[in-house]
Amino acid sequence: MKITRNGALPINDGFRMPAEFGRHEGTIMIYPTRPGSWGKNRSGALASFGMIFYEILKREDLYLLVPNDPVYYAEAKEFTDLIAKKVCAECGGRLDHAMNIIKIDTDDSWARDVAPIFVTGKDGAKRAVNFGFNAWGGEFDGLYASWDKDNAVPGKFCELCGYEYYDAEPFILEGGSVHTDGEGTLMVTESCLLSKGRNPSLSKKEIEEKLGSYLGISKVLWLPRGIYNDETNEHVDNMCAFVKPGEVVLAWTDNKDDPQYELSKASFDYLSSVTDAKGRQIKIHKLPIPDVPVLITEENLANYVFEDGEDERSVGERLAASYVNYYYINGALLVPQFGGENAESDKRALDILKDIHPGRDVIGIPAKDILLGGGNIHCITQQIPE
C-alpha cells in the first residue's frame, strides 16, 4: 500500500533510515543475467554472487529477484538450491533463514540502487520508500537506454511482500548514493546528488529537505567527490561508509600521482571540518584502494554484449575498485577482494576492517567479476532492517 507524505517538508512521523551495520531481517539481491554487465559467460559473476548468497543465508533471510522467464528461473532455482543445501549441511541439517525467490523483471542486478530503501519507526514498524530510478542519469548521462523495469522494482517488491511504502517519485535517488549512521546523519557526494541527470530542478537545500522527509534525516554531509572513474557520478558507497555513529572508513591513497589522491583528500579535509547530527567530530579511518588499478582487458571486453544505448567499455579502462564497497550482514562483513597483483592490498584491507570490527567476522569475497559489471558487493545488496 502506498503512503503519501503530504504537507511542509521535512515531516517527522517517527520513521528513520537505520544504519546498515544494525541488525537485518534480510537482504535483497537480483539474479545476474544482463550480458552488458555480466557477459556471455556469467560463470565468474555467478561464483561471486553465490558466495554472497551463502554467507547471507547462514545469517539472515535472502530475497532473490529473478526474471519472470522459465529458463532463468529454473537456473536460479537450481543454483540457490545447491547453496541452501550447503548451508543446511554446515548448520546441523537445517536452514534457519529463508531463501525467498521472487519473480520480478529487472533491467540489471544493482539491488542497492533499484530496490526499496527501508525506514523504521520507534514502535518497531517498518516501511519502505520508492524513489525514482533513471539508470544513473536518465537521458543526460544514464548508463542504459531503458530502465522501466528497474524503476518498478520497489512498488512490485512491496506489494508482493506486504510492505507499506512511501512513494517519493519523481525524486531520483539510488541507494548507493547515501550512507547513514542511523542517528540522523546522512553522507552523500555532491558529484552525484547535484549531477544534471538526477534532480536538476531542485536546489541543494530542496534535496536536503526531500532526504529529511523520506529518510528521517536531520543533517546531510556533502562529500565533494567519490572514486575516480565511478560511472554512477561517484556514489558515496564506494568512497565512504559509517562503521558506527561518528566514525567512518574513507577510500584513500598516499600516491599523489594517482587521480584518486585529490578526490580522497578533498573528502578527508571536508569530513575533518564538520560534525554529525549529534555534534560529534568524525573519526576517519583511511582504507587504501588497491595498489594496482584494475583495468579492462581484451578478454574482458570480448565477453560483454552491449545493447543499443548502453554505456560501453574499452580496453585499458580503469574500473572504480574500492574496498569501501563492502556489505554488513548479521555478525559479519563481506569485503571485496581483487586478487592477482592486489593480493597484498586485499589482505591489508581485511586487516584494517578486522581491527575496526572486533565483534564481526570479516570475510573476503572474490569480487573482480562483480567490478567488471560496474559495481561491487554493496551495489548488489540492499538490507531489510530487523
Q: Are 362 and 353 in contact (CB under 8 A)?
A: yes
Grid cell listed for 251? 577510500
Q: Does the annotation mark 161 as catalytic?
A: no
**Terminal C-alpha separation, the chain:** 20
Per DSSP, helices labelled H in the chain are 35-38, 43-57, 70-90, 111-114, 138-141, 148-151, 153-161, 190-193, 204-215, 260-272, 298-303, 343-356, 368-373
Report CA-CA distances (Å) from 75 to 66, 72, 97: 10, 5, 21
Instruction: Return all residues near 215 (Cβ < 8 A) that are at least 6 apart.
Output: 16, 17, 117, 119, 129, 178, 180, 186
113 CB burial (10 A radius; 0-12, 13-18, 19+): buried
CA gap 165, 218 in Å, rounded: 21
* DSSP conformation letters of 22-88: S-EEEEEEE----HHHH-S--HHHHHHHHHHHHHHHTTSEEEEEE-S-HHHHHHHHHHHHHHHHHHH
Which residue among the candidates 158, 192, 240, 379 is catalytic per the annotation?
379
- Residues serving a catalytic function are 379
